[in-house]
Amino acid sequence: MTEFFAGIDRIAHEGPESTNPLAFRHYDPDEVVLGKRMEEHLRFAVAYWHSLAFEGLDPFGGRTFDRPWYGDDMDHARLKADVAFELFSKLGVPYFCFHDADVRPEGASHAESTARLNAIADHFETKMAETGVKLLWGTANLFSNRRFMAGAATNPDPDVFAYAAATIKANMDVTQRLGGENYVLWGGREGYETLLNTDLGAELDQMGRMLSLVVEYKHKIGFKGAILLEPKPQEPTKHQYDFDVATCYGFLKRYGLEDEVKVNIEVGHAFLAGHSFEHELAMARTLGIFGSIDMNRNDIQCGWDTDHFPNDPREATLAYYQILKAGGFTTGGTNFDAKIRRQSLDPVDLFHGHILGMDTCARGLKAAAAMIGDGTHDVFVADRYAGWQGAEAQAMLKGERSLDQIADRVISEGIEPQPRSGRQEYLEGLVNRFV
């Protein structure tokens, strides 16, 4: 145990009436929801980069946090890991996630960076054995270093592509060694800032080739987890090629990877794409590529990815409704890609943020399960589309009627359809019954 969280015990569930700020009011890992423990439904993970590596920076100001593990050497990296696993254990989360750059200092060469990553992985193995905390997914930071300013896979320099490929391999190896259940690719700069210096076709082909290499290597090493692509429309680049779920699916189809790769969907990224989180989840479920989620929220008054902890049970309800309808998580989970505010200086603030998020998600899960159990919403939607079960409707849908045949039937039968209410306000009120 470190001294950083001294005086903070493991967070317990005390129920909705509790006023203890260091207790769960709604998240009870052992509560059974739709036949499964809540912990198994939600599969919570803490994001190493925001909880341990974030220094309180923003675009107009530098570090506000003063953490004892800040330092560019391996001793500080090991201290950071010790504090991290104390945080994970006291929160009672089953998983964590990381980028390579979060956990080890950059080396003078790729070989040195990889050696440092492997040394920290040795330390992680010990901490994971001691605590029982597992790795939900690993990933590579291919956006912070200046070598990636024009992208990683999409860079015009093939040496940068090669360096990125070697970095991904090193991180896949560590993810495999640590028993990670997924591997995520988020190309923070896989896009363009101006079309004046960009060959779109070349960059898309490079990105497709990199993803194919990842899939090939997955099978070579026998990695049993999912490969996940994380959509984001912009920021820091003007336009990113993995804009949203639908764009990612089109990309995967073009390169024949739709059966090999799924998506990790983030609330804030959906917001930046002009979508709701519910929309992105529903699209992934419909297209068969739902994998995992990064749970957070954006400030609606800001135009960038602010990564707040979630606090709206209604939004969480709509999200977990889609997740449950998709069959729930398999290898994926709920990763808190969220950071405390730069004015939240105290160690205990990390607990307040995660407790808020975990309770919000628990309320959403239970409300979504109640909606499904009630069945009213599902019956309404089924009734709205019931006409499509008729013989002629099915014939049209299956391609058994030509355009002129359909037109002839409309004329001969005098079809004059009348609009029916979509009853949106009723349905919104129905959701509120369960939240």
Number of alpha carbons in the 13 Å side-chain half-sphere of residue 241:
30
Instruction: Choose among 6, 23, 1, 3: nearest CA to 14.
Output: 23
DSSP symbol at 350: H
CB 227 within 8 A of CB 218: yes
* Cα torsion angle, 49, 50, 56, 60, sign: positive
Residue of 26, 28, 100, 102 marked catalytic: 102
Helix (H) or strand (E) holding 432: helix 424-434
Strand 36-37 and strand 23-24: the pairing is: unpaired
DSSP symbol at 73: S
HEC letters along 250-283: HHHHHCCCCCCEEEEEEHHHHHHCCCCHHHHHHH
The pair of three-digit structure tokens given for residue 206, joined into one six-digit string: 């490079």
Residue of 50, 99, 269, 275 marked catalytic: 99
Instruction: Choose among 321, 316, 322: nearest CA to 338.
Output: 316
* Total residue length of the chain: 435
CA angle 284, 293, 355 (to 5 degrees): 150
Distance CA 237, CA 102 (A): 21
Distance CA 223, CA 215 (A): 10
Query: Across the chain, which distance is largest between two alpha carbons, in Å?
Result: 82
102 catalytic? Reply is yes
Instruction: Choose among 382, 314, 322, 309: nearest CA to 352.
Output: 309
The pair of three-digit structure tokens given for residue 118, joined into one six-digit string: 């492997």
Distance CA 292, CA 295 (A): 10
Instruction: Choose among 45, 41, 89: nearest CA to 264.
Output: 45
* Cα torsion angle, 70, 74, 79, 80, sign: positive
Judge residue 73's burial from the number of C-beta atoms within 10 Å of its C-beta, 0-12 exposed, 13-18 middle, 19 or more buried: exposed
123 catalytic? Reply is no
CB 313 within 8 A of CB 360: yes
End-to-end C-alpha distance for the chain, whole angstroms: 38
Point out the residues that are catalytic.
99, 102
